[in-house]
Chain A
Amino acid sequence: MSGADGDRGRASTLGRGPGRPETTEHEPEHRRWIGAVLAAGMAAALGAAMVGIPREHAALPAVARYAMEVALPRWGLTEPVNEIVYGTRGFDTFGETFLLLAAVVSVVVVTRSREARRGYFGESQAGEREQEKCDPAESADASEQEARAAERREQDESAPGDPARPQTPDAEPLGTPAPETAEAMTVVTRTAIRIALPVLAVAGLYLVAWGYSPGGGFPGGAVLVGVLLFVYAGFGRRRIARIVRPGLLEGIELAGATAIILTELLGLLLRGSFSANWLPLAAPQTILSGGIAQLFSASELIEVGTGLAIAIFALIGMGHDWTHDESDEPAHHGEGET
């Protein structure tokens, strides 16, 4: 998606004179032969190792057999994979959840703008304020003004420079040629997304709601992020702006993480071992089957769904640079653009 944004940016800079030349086709490469030799060596070593490892006729490892045995009697789950994720190897999943959280925090730290912001989009204000402070007398030339107008259009609901554009893409009459900065897709795509969305959303929630689906919250969360991305791609960011903002998503994400910690810790307090089941077991193949596995899975849905959404939208929202860089070297202009 950020690639599409980049194309959009490049398209609007085309035909603007000598300011920003076209990207030249240039494929930087480096020490081809050393790379080939090292990769071949790695292939040889791993290939030799592969010949010796167990193949399709080996017996099931003890840990897998154990999980198969305890899945039904001890957890009431007919899905051993789910039992392993949230039961037998629940501690692994616990650690991995916080690895995910650490990755999300890293993305947030790396992508954050100079000043606090309420949405994932719009960080031009900081630059404008700084320019005002440094050089209030500096007047914007024609290309600068064009760049600022493009920025404003991209930026906000209240685009004053463009009164001709309707409020929502659906209000646009059919057959209108798409502008270069179209924020929504064509009516065909939008209709397809409208049909696919409910199916996708229900499928994602189904994966979590019925505790005997493999993985539960992990694939469920990823599917729900797919729903968000569909809306973003098809209808533009205004449609998701109320849900997708850092203040809300980060709060929900940490609530999910807290729920996971509590779920696991209560096992230690009530049953004497971390990640032990402390909830009564419901009948297998019901919505509550699996005891804490289902609770863990639902918390994991929150954690994975919001975590991936934060990471993706933080990346998408990283500032666009519409203005020319004065001290730019002549080569590789387009590559720096995101």
Chain B
Amino acid sequence: MILVNYLAAVALLCIGLYAVLTRRNMIKMVMGLSLMEAATYLFMISLAYRAGSTAPVLLNPPPGKSAQSLVHGNVADPVLQNFCLTAVVIGVAVTAVFLSVVVRIAQHYRTLDSDRVREMRG
């Protein structure tokens, strides 16, 4: 039942969204965004899963199979694994950008409460 994984990813994304919407501590908002990122990783890896499949690796195929039969056989989706791999690195970099902005705001306004940062009010 991979659907459970999909729904868990949705739940994780919505917890992150709720944190971003309701928290006013900017570090916690960044944590919420990281949680939303993590939800996409879980979703992509779950989407790559195939029932009864093997890993998309052509080295040392399981007994009774050759590399060629594996190519046309039942394997997990390698493209989504690739997406996840690159998304993790980008996630780290983007979080670093968020955090550096938060630190600068905190140094300037002496607070992490975004409500107290007057210039950010519309």
Chain A residues near B77 (CB-CB < 8 A): 60-61, 64
- Give the CA-CA distance A221 to B88 in the complex, in Å: 12
Contact with A along B37-79 (1 / 0, CB 8 A): 0000000000101110000111100000001001110010111
On whether A103 and B109 interact (CB within 8 A), knowing A30-B24, A69-B71, the answer reads no
Chain A interface helix/strand/loop/mixed: helix
A63 at the binding interface (Cβ < 8 Å): yes
- Total chain B interface residues with beta-carbon distance under 8 A: 60
On whether A338 and B106 interact (CB within 8 A), knowing A71-B58, A106-B97, the answer reads yes
Once the chains bind, are A81 and B56 in contact (CB under 8 Å)?
yes
Once the chains bind, are B71 and A335 in contact (CB under 8 Å)?
no
- Give the CA-CA distance A40 to B13 in the complex, in Å: 11
A29 at the binding interface (Cβ < 8 Å): yes
- Total chain A interface residues with beta-carbon distance under 8 A: 83
Number of A-B contacts (CB under 8 A): 210
Chain A residues near B22 (CB-CB < 8 A): 29-32, 35-36
B34 at the binding interface (Cβ < 8 Å): no
Minimum CB–CB distance for A122 against chain B, Å: 16
Chain B residues near A308 (CB-CB < 8 A): 89, 92-93, 96
Within 8 A of A (CB), among B84-111: 85-86, 88-90, 92-94, 96-97, 99-101, 103-104, 106-107, 109-111
Chain A residues near B3 (CB-CB < 8 A): 50-51, 55
- Using a CB–CB cutoff of 8 Å, the interface residues on chain B facing chain A are 2-3, 6-7, 10-11, 13-15, 17-18, 21-25, 47, 49-51, 56-59, 67, 70-72, 75, 77-82, 85-86, 88-90, 92-94, 96-97, 99-101, 103-104, 106-107, 109-116
A72-B58, A111-B103 are known; give 17 further A-B pairs, CB within 8 A.
A2-B103, A27-B25, A29-B24, A47-B7, A50-B3, A50-B10, A56-B50, A67-B79, A81-B82, A83-B78, A93-B86, A307-B93, A314-B100, A315-B103, A321-B107, A332-B110, A335-B111
- Using a CB–CB cutoff of 8 Å, the interface residues on chain A facing chain B are 2, 26-32, 34-36, 38-40, 42-43, 46-47, 50-51, 53-58, 60-61, 63-65, 67-69, 71-72, 77-81, 83-85, 89, 92-93, 96, 99-100, 103-104, 106-107, 110-111, 212, 214-215, 218-219, 221-222, 285, 304, 307-308, 311-312, 314-315, 318-319, 321, 325, 328-329, 332-333, 335-338
